[in-house]
Amino acid sequence: MSLELSESDSSPSSDKENLPRKMGSFKLIRKLGEGAMGVVYEAIHEPSGRRAAVKEMTTADLRNTTGYKRWEREIDILKTLKHPNIVRFYANGRSKSVPYLAMELVEGEALDKLLKKRGAFDWRTVAILGAQLCDALHHAHQSKIIHRDLKPSNLMLTGTPQRPILKLADFGIAKALEETGITATGRTVGTAAYMAPEQIAEPDTISHKTDLYSLGIVLYQLVTGELPFNGATYAAMMTLHLKEKPPRASSKAHLPPEFDDLIDQLLSKAPQDRPFDALAVGERLRAIAAMDWKPQEKLPPRATTEVRTRPRPTSTIERAGWNPETIATLGLVVSLVLILSFMLWYIFAPVSTDSLYTQVKAVMDTDNRLAIRDSRFQAKLDELLIRSDLGDRFEQVRSWKDRAMFFEAEDKARTIKIPGQAGSLKRAPSNPIEELYAQTAAEAQRLEADLELEKSAQRWRSMAEQIDAEAPEERGWRALALSEAEKNQAKLQELRQAIDDEMKRARSLIETQSGGVRQAIPIWQNLIEKYWIYPDLRPLLTRGPLQRLVDNGMAPPDIVNRP
């Protein structure tokens, strides 16, 4: 069924540049860009004051059945995906018959624009950003969503130079693996420069590894500033993807051999030859980012020129039977021995505890997960922890070790399959502590789904109590369990504060205004309608001044009943 707009319907083209203007509860204030599926504006959500990016559907797509279905699909997918490296969904709706989608406003620039401005990125930066992109892809793949259109223009860079953050956007042509019928069978969808061979030749067979190929193209382009294939036409580009082997990234840029090999593997023609999943790629990229690698510049070969000279007179040393070349060689050997001795002393000389403490503190102060998880830093931290002259700094160093172990446990936890949770790409628990985590997470998530936040927090605290606080290998898991409990407690506290603020406003109306009871009752009714679904909050909604009003006959009894 096709969608039609009558002449009386408002079209976004008629007033899109008349800014500011309203779209639902959002006020559009500035145009950010325009794409195939709509126009994007910077906007303010007026009730909350929160800034957002609002995409307004174009009239052409609104009239097109396929375009409208893609629009609806992007909304459904964004509602499903909740990850720090994926642009967040806020709301959607219609304004004067025109659909709109409100999303997180990313303060930054798309990578394609940055490539044009500055050229290729440093290999370490690319590895860090690539690892974040892998986290986003793994989250999508766990939900059986294939992006199908990975490219620099869909990747937003925000954060700071010290802590860059990558955001994946535009799921307009993403595909759910079980989905059928939205695109015609056998139809190729995507951007030619980044398409995997199977996406071109057999689009019905795509999998999560299709995104891995596109990821390889993106990494290649970021680190070299060029695409691996440059076809003059759409058809030529597709042929290159299908038949030609791309040149190694190392032929165009300096990068570690491990990074070069990973990109080459991602660009394998056959999906089975690519890495297992985005999670595995992310782990390899994090290891690469932590490497201490420097390029070895190749010197050009020296030119040789024949020079004719007169015979050199024999020196006194030669007449004495010494060969000058032998003398030079002996001098070189002595020099090398002295240099090597100094280097060995420099490398193996013990570092003072104060110096080691300063080095470790500098890294811990950044709270940079990659740096803290680096094996060389871990060795320094472990060395510092056993120093006998730490004095009153021991507890501080131990807390740093706990933080590092927390990061390790958190990274492992993300790879563990939780009972009852969708997704086949995660692994089974490999030891008793991981089995305890999986069981706890399953129960806690069930409680959270029922909005039983206090019980969920208690379940995480119960896990922490079962862990030996003095066992070094278990302390990270204990910290992880307590962190999950604290998240639920913080959420509860936020909700309780919101109720308390509204209760105070209602009491103020009763105490200061004539007819305040009549004005206060809708406030309480709204609180009950909004928060009754939380079992932990019901006592707050059925006690105090509201109940006294019922007891005194000033409010109807059913006001304190569940809506």
Q: Are 66 and 14 in contact (CB under 8 A)?
A: no
Give the 3-state secondary structure of residue 346: helix
What are the residues facing 110 on neighbouring strands? 156
Q: Is residue 52 classed as helix, strand or coil in its secondary structure?
A: strand
Given the structure tokens 């593997």, which residue do they identify? 265
480: phi then psi, degrees, rounded to nearest 5:
-65, -45
Q: How far, in Å, CA of 229 to CA of 220, rounded? A: 10
Q: How large is the greatest C-alpha to C-alpha distance in the chain, in angstroms?
A: 127
Which of 389, 364, 393 is closest to 377 using CA atoms?
364
Catalytic residue check, 277: no
* 401 annotated as a binding-site residue: no
Structure tokens at 29: 């204030």
Residue 29 contacts residue 50 (beta carbons within 8 Å): no
DSSP conformation letters of 191-249: -GGG--HHHHH-GGG--HHHHHHHHHHHHHHHHHSS-S---SSHHHHHHHHHHPPPPPG
Contacts of 200 (CB under 8 A, 6+ apart): 188, 238, 241, 242
156 strand-pairing partners: 110, 167
Size (the chain), residues = 563
52 near 45, Cβ under 8 Å? Answer: yes
Alpha-carbon span 28 to 45, nearest angstrom: 9
User: Exposed, middle or buried: residue 82 (CB in 10 Å: 0-12, 13-18, 19+)?
Assistant: exposed
Is the preceding omega at residue 419 within 30 degrees of 0, hence cis?
Answer: no
Catalytic residue among 61, 149, 277, 536: 149
Contact 123, 167 (CB under 8 A): no
Under DSSP, is residue 132 helix (H, G, I), strand (E, B) or coil?
helix
Chain mean position to CA 122: 19
With contact defined as beta carbons under 8 Å apart, do 249 and 255 qualify?
A: yes
Active site residues: 149
Binding-site residues:
55
Binding-site residues for ATP:
55
